[in-house]
Amino acid sequence: MTLTISFILIAYILIALEQWHRTTIVFFFAALTVVMGLITPEEAWMAIDYNTLGLLLGMMIIVNIMKQTGIFRYLALYSVKLSKGSVFKLFFTITAITWLASAFLDNVTTVMLITPISIFIAEMIGVSPFPFFIGEIIASNMGGTATLIGDPPNVMIGSAAHLSFFDFLTHLTPIALIVYFAFILYFKIFEGPKYNINKKFDAESLNIRPEKAIKDYGLLKKSLLVFALVIVGFMLHHILKLEPSIVALMGASLLLVITKHDPEEVLKDVEWATLIFLTGFFILVGSLEKYGVINFIATLIVSITGNVKLLAIIILVVSALISALLDNIPFVAAMIPVVASINQTIGVHTNTLWWALALGSCLGGNGTLVGASANIVVAGISSRSGAPLTFKNYLKHGVIAATISIILSAIYILLFL
């Protein structure tokens, strides 16, 4: 247990120091964990979340084909046109779209679609894309909190607690909106001057004609058809009894078939470094699960008090802290049976603890660059721009966003849940 925890801590320190690429660090320590016998190859294999990796791979393929149509350039130009020369209006429009899309798709798919747009927009109007990357990550995790299908932890919690799409919509959507607008207000006031968010640009001189951006209407129609089918599949996956990864991969394969694209060319643009990073990270977290570290933390939380509101705040805060440092999926998986047992033991007839777990695990993911899959995807895409996200330059913004979110969520739990 000590050695496993040490590997995780050393990996985090090295990622923060930025002397090596984060994928190299995590991949090395994951391999070392297996070589030293801390986790067997079979256990490492089982620790990997193939649903997440499959979902990412499928959507990366779909997005790589879609971008050849010029649709992202069209959306970028149209967003600039709507902003009427205000960088802040543009920032707000892009993050609002990210929030909304993340609530009804998954947040990973959303950032894969939005991030390339923000890079193009920033280059067009002469500002750094860095604040757009920050806003997209934070808005995607906040939007994913709002609904049953927005974030994997919500899907897990909804299934275990028998909570419907409407339950999430009525209980979590309000606070997800509140924390989003609070973040936008903070960013405009305190970060706006630094990143030129409040400045104006001459939109008229850019001669913006969005319709000219579309290069291939035939490919666009095929791509949008498949993309629409994938979205429907995501929303109905629990009825169809298909994992989101299967839906995404089926969509990707269908799009390759009907467009006759060369798979080798399409696969060249897949963010393989991101997929390898997540694979290594799943193995490291799996070693923590094996030695009971996550279960120990979960059990310790719920043994402190029998007061439901106080217990909910503890679960909220600890879930946020752990989800900022580790992937939230295994933590939620460990917490679900514990929360269910506590509810039964103390005779709770509300879902307060479930909502606290959902809020903490989803919103806490904003805390660090490795706190959520969407964060890693944006970081991977940003490396191709002139303003790449790193663990260090994201940390300040992530911590502030997560802190604002958790404070407001705690108040919301005390007053309304």
Predicted confidence (pLDDT) per residue in 67-93, tens digit: 888 887 788 788 888 887 888 988 998
Tell me the one-letter amino acid at 4: T
Q: Structure tokens of 25?
A: 């660090």
Tokens representing 337 are 């049976």
Q: Which domain holds residue 156?
A: 2-416
pLDDT computed for residue 211 by the predictor: 75
User: Cα separations (Å) of 406 from 154, 187, 223?
Assistant: 17, 17, 39
Number of H helices, E strands in the chain: 23, 0
If you average pLDDT over every residue of the chain, what do you get?
A: 86
Residue 60 has pLDDT above 70, yes or no: yes
Tokens of residue 98, six digits: 């990210």
Q: Over 90: is that where the pLDDT of 199 sits?
A: no
Q: Is the CB of residue 213 less than 8 Å from the CB of residue 77?
A: yes
Three-state DSSP class for 4?
helix
In one-letter notation, the amino acid at residue 228 is: A
348 confidence band (pLDDT: 50, 70, 90) = low
Q: How far, in Å, CA of 217 to CA of 283, rounded?
A: 43
Instruction: State the pLDDT at residue 407.
Output: 97
Q: Which of 325, 331, 335 is nearest to 366 (CA)?
A: 325
pLDDT band at 413 (very low <50, low <70, confident <90, very high): very high
Rg of the chain in Å (alpha carbons): 21
Token couple for 10: 């050393």
Centre a 10 Å sphere on the Cβ of residue 307 and count the other Cβ atoms it contains.
11
User: pLDDT tens for residues 86-129?
Assistant: 889 889 989 998 999 888 877 887 888 889 888 888 888 888 89
Q: Which two tokens stand for residue 287?
A: 């070693």
* The pLDDT of residue 142: 96
pLDDT, mean of residues 355-365: 94
Q: Which residue has the higher pLDDT, 404 or 328?
A: 404
362 touches 145 (CB < 8 A): yes
3-state secondary structure of 250: helix
- The three-class DSSP label of residue 200 is strand
What domain count does the chain have? 1
Percent of the chain at pLDDT exceeding 70: 98
Can you read off the two tokens belonging to residue 254?
A: 């269908």
Long-range contacts of 170-173 (CB under 8 A, 24+ apart): 171/351, 171/355, 171/417, 172/145, 172/146, 172/147, 172/355, 172/358, 172/359, 173/103, 173/146, 173/147
Nearest 5°: CA angle at 357, between 355 and 359?
Answer: 65
Question: For the whole model, what pTM was predicted?
Answer: 0.78
Q: Count of residues for the chain?
A: 417
Helices 50-66 and 272-290 pack at an angle, to 10 degrees, of 170
Half-sphere exposure at residue 170, Cβ-oriented, CA atoms within 13 angstroms: 8
Residue 214's pLDDT is 84
Q: Work out the average pLDDT over 167-184.
A: 95
pLDDT digits (tens, 9 = 90+) for 221-232: 999 999 899 888
Quick one: which H or E segment has residue 64?
A: helix 50-66
